[in-house]
């Protein structure tokens, strides 16, 4: 029987009671880092990353040998407003592509040795158009969160959550505007490739949606303006926290979903690192709000967890150095 | 019998006659990229990288399954001036660490499936102090270049060159100043960790050395101010070009060595991508002079080929997507 939460108040309680990193392991990993055969600090961010992994995994020898990539797909009622360059049926077509192994995320998962699972979430029942009412009722929202929660392999040593959902940059922009304010223009971008008119339309739709759900906070923002795949990612990220599995955040949509957890419970994303910053302009803003510095800056804007999956390689490099290198004493190298 | 060049004028002739990328393969790889199941441009820099790999490998399906990491080590007479935070015997100690598998580069090579070879270059005979005379005579220089040339596995599909040599950030700074001008302060940095007085000393030593060899250009700069490990890297990078093997440049020292090839023959580094930009401040300047945008910015300053080896993962991700993804037609996905 899967361990899961019963309702939203149970989820909130679990977020509040979630464990932090292991302080003793953090110290031990930091001590080990200081003894490795390199000048102090010479591996730069890789050193911080390995120590952070050690803290969450509760060991001075962290691993990234069993990464798990979980992809959620959902459809969005707001596409009726014409906010995407691609038709909504592409969501289901791409799920078939994921299942057949043909998408970018399949190649990246294989390259970095990750188990990859795909969860299409009621693709034949798009969320409601959020300019008209809440994207999801409580039952649908709870179901998507629970699907995410139970999707995480408890044996994984690293988690990536990804998404597919035509229209979901519009949803993510609405979530970001509701959480952090500003103007809709600050948060909308070209997504899969809308033109200037499409961009203006997205901003208008996002403004309307956020106005419609004014006063929503935390998880309620995710229910009213998000989508099933965003809720799935949030559920998976929350579960990873309860299991102390480190998470690599992907792009704008993943980060918007995650930000609802942070808005609900400050510190809820302490077990998350930003895998990359995407070309979608709202993403850099979101990461700045969350105080997360991206590992990669390569101009990706695909979603699917692709940027985070690419960053698995960086994390694997960091823990390989940290856990595999000889110490000065072991190697008989003079220590400065 | 190894194919190698006979003397410096033969090397110069080979640099001038070196092949470019395969134009037909570049077009085919670009065409393929446009048909893959993703919005146009959505994989950002990974797309350019895969097409570039395809051009050099002469195929629309590039690979990065046989990376080769070649490390050269050398000692520097200029350490007699007190320019390093570590004693010169660390070079030989670290070579033993490489051979025993305990260094950062060993872990990174293993993580990304690279063959790794180490070439200690006459460690018991440091180069001459370049403030007193040329670092190497022609015979020593030729030998180091040829060692690098023959070190490259012709079956490799990607090359990383790395180095170890106490004192070699001073040598690299002198090379950079001789090639590009400016002030010594523009090019010196803290290396393995010198203090402010050490930094001022490095700048003085670099200025003196460059003044002593005023008028040197191209490969002659490398002979007079470089070191055996820099010459080894330059030889390997030149050989990779003759074999059309793409190269990932590492940090400041690797890039300074490579820059001598570019100064000798403009375009000599067209088969090279910058793996990362290091914390050594001269590195970003050097990359700007060469017009190379780094793949990673993670604050590394270790050398050993470590930043380039980490970037193997990025290149592997890029070619995995490019060569493994389904096309819109294959997957039955609607194309925008």
Range of the domain at B113: 8-331
> How does B50-74 read in b/e, with b if 16+ C-beta sit within 10 Å?
bbbbbbbbbbbbbbbeebbbbbbbb
pLDDT at A2 (0 to 100): 61
In this predicted structure, the answer to whether residue A192 has a pLDDT above a threshold of 90 is no
Cβ contacts (< 8 Å) between B86 and chain A: which residues?
39, 334, 336
Q: Is the pLDDT of residue B45 over 60?
A: yes
User: Which of B273, B284, B278 minimizes the C-alpha distance to B240?
Assistant: B273
Residue B46 CA to residue B317 CA, distance in Å, equals: 8
Confidence band for B319, pLDDT divided at 50, 70 and 90: very high
Whether residue B71 has pLDDT greater than 70: yes
3-state SS track over B279-314: CCHHHHHHHHHHCCCCCECCCCCCCCCHHHHHHHHH
Can you give the pLDDT at residue A193? 86
Question: Contact B332/A93, CB-based, under 8 Å?
Answer: yes
Nearest-CB residue to B87 (from A108, A295, A334)? A334
Nearest to B300 by CA among A48, A75, A301, A36: A48
Paired with A160 in beta bridges are A69, A248
Inform me whether the pLDDT recorded for A95 exceeds 80.
yes
Options A47, A220, A262, A304, the catalytic residue: A304
Whether A298 sits inside 8 A of B302 (CB atoms) is: no
pLDDT for residue A1 is more than 70: no
Q: Is residue B2 part of a domain?
A: no
Q: Are B221 and B175 in contact (CB under 8 A)?
A: yes
Please provide the distance, in angstroms rounded to a whole number, between the alpha carbons at the two ends of chain A. 55
Q: Each residue of B114-141: pLDDT tens digit?
A: 999 999 999 999 999 999 999 999 999 9
The answer as to whether A68 is a domain residue is: yes
Task: Pick the closest to residue A226 from A214, A202, A209, A207 (CA basis).
Answer: A209
A217 found inside a domain:
yes
At A56, phi and psi to the nearest 5?
-70, -35
- Cβ-defined contact of B297 to A297 (cutoff 8 Å): yes
Q: What is the pLDDT of residues A233-242, one digit of tens each?
A: 999 999 999 9
Determine whether the interchain pair A300/B39 forms a contact, defined as Cβ–Cβ distance below 8 Å.
no
Among A35, A320, A328, A330, most B C-beta atoms within 10 A, so best to mutate, is A320
Distance (Å) of CA A295 to CA A127, A181, A283, A309, B288 = 33, 26, 13, 11, 21
pLDDT at B220: 98
At residue A137, the pLDDT reads: 98
Q: Which CATH number fits the domain that encloses residue A153?
A: 3.40.50.10210
Task: Pick B314's closest partner by Cβ from A100, A106, A313.
Answer: A313
CB contact under 8 A, B90 and A334: yes
Residue to test with chain B: of A65, A313, A322, A335, most B Cβ within 10 A: A313
Q: How many residues does chain B have?
A: 336
Q: Would you say residue A17 lies in a domain?
A: yes
Distance CA A108, CA A137 (A): 35
pLDDT at B258 over 90: yes
Measured between beta carbons, the chain A residues lying within 8 angstroms of B192 are: 39, 42, 336
What does pTM read for this prediction?
A: 0.98
For B103, name the nearest residue in chain A, comparing CA atoms only: A325
Look at residue A133 and tell me if it is in a domain: yes
pLDDT bracket for residue B64 (50, 70, 90): very high
CB B268 within 8 A of CB B262: yes
pLDDT in tens, A137-187: 999 999 999 999 999 999 999 999 999 999 999 999 999 999 999 999 999
Bridge-based pairing of strands A272-274 and A158-164 is unpaired
Select from B37, B46, B313 the Cβ nearest to the Cβ of A102.
B37
Split into its structural domains, chain A has a count of: 1
Query: Residue B1 pLDDT > 60, yes or no?
Result: no
Would you say residue B1 lies in a domain? no
Q: Given a cut of 60, is residue A208 above it in pLDDT?
A: yes
Taking only the tens place, the pLDDT of each residue in B269-309 is: 999 999 999 999 999 999 999 999 999 999 999 999 999 99
Q: Does residue B24 belong to any structural domain of this protein?
A: yes
What ranges in A155-305 are assigned the alpha helix state H?
A: 168-180, 184-187, 196-212, 218-225, 228-242, 252-264, 281-290
Q: Which of A132, A157, A128, A152 is nearest to A140 (CA)?
A: A128
User: Is the CA virtual torsion B208, B213, B217, B222 positive or negative?
Assistant: negative
Which pLDDT does position B191 carry in this prediction?
Answer: 85
Q: Would you state the structure tokens that stand for residue A59, as one six-digit string?
A: 């060991």
Task: Work out the mean pLDDT of chain A and round it to a whole number.
Answer: 96
Cβ contacts (< 8 Å) between A189 and chain B: which residues?
A: none
Instruction: Say which residues have a Cβ less than 8 Å from residue A153's Cβ, sequence separation at least 6.
Output: A66, A68, A115
Q: What is the pLDDT of residues B183-231, one digit of tens each?
A: 999 999 998 888 999 999 999 999 999 999 999 999 999 999 999 999 9
Q: State the residue for tokens 């060692």.
A: B147
A324 with B40: Cβ contact below 8 A: no
The answer to whether the CB atoms of B43 and A104 lie below 8 A apart is yes
**Are the Cβ atoms of B325 and A39 closer than 8 angstroms?**
no
Q: How many CB atoms lie within 10 A of CB A293?
A: 12
Task: Please list the residues that pair with B248 across neighbouring strands.
Answer: B160, B273
Q: Nearest CB to B93: which of A42, A100, A333?
A: A333
C-alpha Rg value of chain B to the nearest Å: 20
DSSP string, B73-134: E--BGGGGG---SS-THHHHHHHHHHHHT-SHHHHHHHHTT-EEEEEE--TTSPBP-TTTS-
Percent of chain A scored above 70 by pLDDT? Answer: 99
Judge whether B183 lies within some domain: yes
Give the residue numbers of B marked as catalytic: 304
Chain A interface disruption, residue of B102, B112, B293, most A CBs within 10 A? B102
Q: What is the mean pLDDT of residues A1-18?
A: 91
ipTM: 0.97
């Amino acid at each position: 029987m899967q361990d899961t939460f019963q309702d939203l108040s149970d989820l909130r309680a679990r977020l509040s009671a979630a464990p932090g990193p292991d302080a003793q392991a953090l110290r031990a990993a930091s001590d080990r880092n200081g003894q490795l055969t390199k000048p102090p600090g010479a591996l730069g961010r890789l050193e911080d990353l390995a120590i952070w992994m050690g803290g969450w995994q509760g060991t001075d020898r962290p691993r990234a040998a069993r990464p798990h990539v979980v992809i959620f797909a959902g459809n969005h009622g707001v596409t009726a407003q014409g906010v995407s360059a691609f038709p909504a049926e592409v969501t289901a077509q791409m799920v078939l592509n994921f299942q057949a192994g043909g998408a970018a995320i399949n190649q990246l998962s294989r390259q970095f040795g990750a188990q990859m699972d795909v969860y299409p979430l009621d693709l034949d029942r798009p969320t409601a158009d959020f300019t008209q009412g809440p994207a999801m009722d409580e039952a649908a929202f709870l179901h998507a969160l629970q699907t995410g929660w139970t999707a995480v392999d408890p044996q994984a040593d690293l988690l990536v959550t990804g998404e597919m959902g035509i229209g979901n940059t519009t949803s993510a922009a609405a979530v970001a505007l509701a959480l952090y304010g500003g103007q809709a223009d600050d948060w909308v971008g070209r997504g899969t490739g809308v033109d200037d008119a499409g961009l203006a339309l997205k901003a208008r739709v996002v403004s309307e949606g956020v106005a419609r759900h004014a006063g929503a906070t935390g998880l309620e923002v995710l229910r009213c303006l998000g989508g099933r795949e965003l809720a799935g990612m949030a559920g998976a990220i929350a579960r990873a926290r309860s299991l102390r599995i480190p998470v690599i955040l992907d792009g704008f949509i993943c980060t918007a979903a995650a930000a609802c957890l942070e808005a609900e419970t400050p510190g809820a994303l302490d077990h998350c690192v930003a895998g990359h910053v995407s070309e979608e302009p709202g993403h850099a803003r979101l990461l700045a709000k969350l105080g997360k510095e991206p590992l990669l800056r390569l101009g990706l804007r695909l979603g699917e967890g692709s940027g985070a999956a690419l960053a698995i390689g960086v994390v694997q490099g960091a823990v390989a150095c940290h856990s595999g290198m000889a110490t000065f004493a072991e190697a008989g190298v003079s220590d400065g």
